[in-house]
Structure 1
Amino acid sequence: MSTHVITGAGSGIGAAVTRELLARGDELWLVARDAGRARQLAEEYPGAHTLVGDLAEPARLSWAFSHQSLPERVDSLLHVAGVVDLGTVAELTPKVWDQTLAANLVAPAELTRLLLPQLRLARGHVVFVNSGAGLRANPQWAAYAASKHGLKALADALRAEEGEHGLRVTSVYPGRTATPMQAKVHQQEGREYDASRWVTPESVARTVLTALDLPVGTEITDLSVRPSPR
């Protein structure tokens, strides 16, 4: 039985990954922003543990975790949570930039740092669910794309630094995926949302599990997932 720490388990890709791993009988630790959300996740995923830590405030994660029991070893740390607010560079305020970078980049870096001892012990795996925006930047996507480009840099540096400890690091770049976040994006873009056009969360979850299930000594570093013609 493997032990996994997951962010973003409440919806979309994170929920799909959590369901898959729970069905296997693995041990799950789900990161929740507050105690109320932790109770909701515990009810939704019986048997899962919760960790309370607000990814919007990464500087407080160390303090929050110091008051909780952590897993003794972590076979995989799955960074799935994220936020998005569209706008042109002329429109984006420092508040939006700070919020986006905090949740999408600084929090994954800090969470990884805090759990590195457990990951090293297990010779574990860190998976960053990035985005197609982590490989290119389009109009109105500057803040989100910058955070995701940074997340790729974080993954690449972590892989180079922690290889001697047996750590595997994978970045997954989903295209548009049928999630509540995608519905929000369409609303910001002023477009009609049709979930059937996009990748399913379950498809991305299977991709994540493909990376996790490779034999020891083998590593997928970067993997893109796109909607196919129908």
Structure 2
Amino acid sequence: MSIEMKNKILKNCAELFYKYGIKSISVDDISFNIGISKKTFYKHFENKNDVVKAIATEFISKIKLFNKEIVEEKTDVFYKLMKIYKKMLSQFNSCNPSFIYDIKKFYPDVYELFIEFSDKELNFLITNLIKQGKEEGLFRENIDENIIYKLHINRMNAVIEGSLLPEKSIANPIFFEFVVIGLIGITTIKGHEILENKLNDYKNEKNF
């Protein structure tokens, strides 16, 4: 079994699924697009579900790696939260909404990977950053970080599913309005002042 061929199939499938969704793409379409036989496809994958699961796993892994790198940076809590939110939104925004819709409807075992990531790792990461912000006097002491996380993740899901913001509109300045509104609601006076002062720096940062 060729690792190169397996990776080639995964790469091409990811491009097709991100662009057109999953349900509309058959194994015949995949084989034709790559220029291989169906026999070659089934030599590397048992079925399309295996491919979908592998792509979803890699998709989530990229977000995990990015989040880990951001958390380890010597930057402030506001910066870390905004970078994480933007990465999440941009990662999903690079896909046709049908990609997530199809996973949710037709591949529940794969969709569970996203739920598990959201409920465990992402929840742990965001709530810890909010706790850190509370300790630094940036966020109000009386807020429940778990509730705030759920509110923020629900708003992000609404963007990802296309019901809150127009498609492809997460880039500045709309992104900043979207995220800042969510953060300002939980900041202290001190936190609000610091966030306002830092916003221009964030907006002017080339790679933000």
Shorter-normalised TM-score: what interval?
0.3 to 0.5
Please identify which structure carries the higher helix content. 2
* Structure showing greater Rg: 2
Q: Which has the higher strand share?
A: 1
**Does 1 or 2 have the higher relative contact order (CA < 8 Å, sep 6+)?**
2
TM-score (norm 2): 0.39
Task: Give the structure-1-normalised TM-score.
Answer: 0.36
